[in-house]
A and B are shown apart, each in its own frame.
Chain A
């Protein structure tokens, strides 16, 4: 149980276009989801916390107008990278907070590798 599906697993887009990444909790409801970014050989960096039905909370230094987060239902959060540039190329990973009775509390998606050309 406690599966998080992330789609797409990889995407290539042209500079200036926007890309949407979906994160779904398949067998549980997630009122809170998290978005991370990871550059090669680096650790995961938390970008924002996505709360169902309310605005996302962004970490310091993350541009909220560039990385649009929508958490419209208890099982879906989306991250849209707007006007993507090559420096936005990265591995994006989502995580969903499970009901507290579960072990660990957080389940991660398998990640989306974004390449902007």
Chain B
């Protein structure tokens, strides 16, 4: 599986959009980009995933660059409850999830 690079931490003001970047320059054609988050002392929670096209659901939007070498997770209106560690994972659809170090997002009032 391709490796991902994420900033270790980010801050965001409550109510503003949180944009979390992820680099995956060695991604291959059949690998998807998945995003999970882990709120303190809980199991990870699925957010969104995509292959080539941008995706949106009730939680977030995923923007994947045309060359697929990077992506951005967007939380449109961050709340204090969005404070968590966000993991960007690249893998084929049936494969196991291998977690990197993630980005610790702190949303402040």
- B43 near A43 (CB under 8 angstroms)? no
Question: A80-117: contact bitstring with B at CB < 8 Å (1 yes, 0 no)?
Answer: 00000000000101010000100111111111010000
Interface size on A, residues (CB 8 A): 23
A-B contact count (CB 8 A): 50
A6 touches B (CB below 8 Å): yes
- Please judge, given known A-B contacts A43-B100, A100-B93, whether A106 and B46 are in contact too, CB under 8 Å: yes
Interface size class of B (residues with CB under 8 A): 20 to 34
- A104 near B46 (CB under 8 angstroms)? yes
- B96 near A113 (CB under 8 angstroms)? no
- Please judge, given known A-B contacts A91-B41, A111-B41, A113-B41, whether A103 and B46 are in contact too, CB under 8 Å: yes
- The chain B residues found within 8 Å of chain A, CB to CB, are 34, 38, 41-46, 48-49, 57, 85, 87, 93-94, 96-102
- The chain A residues found within 8 Å of chain B, CB to CB, are 4, 6, 34, 36, 43-46, 49, 91, 93, 95, 100, 103-111, 113
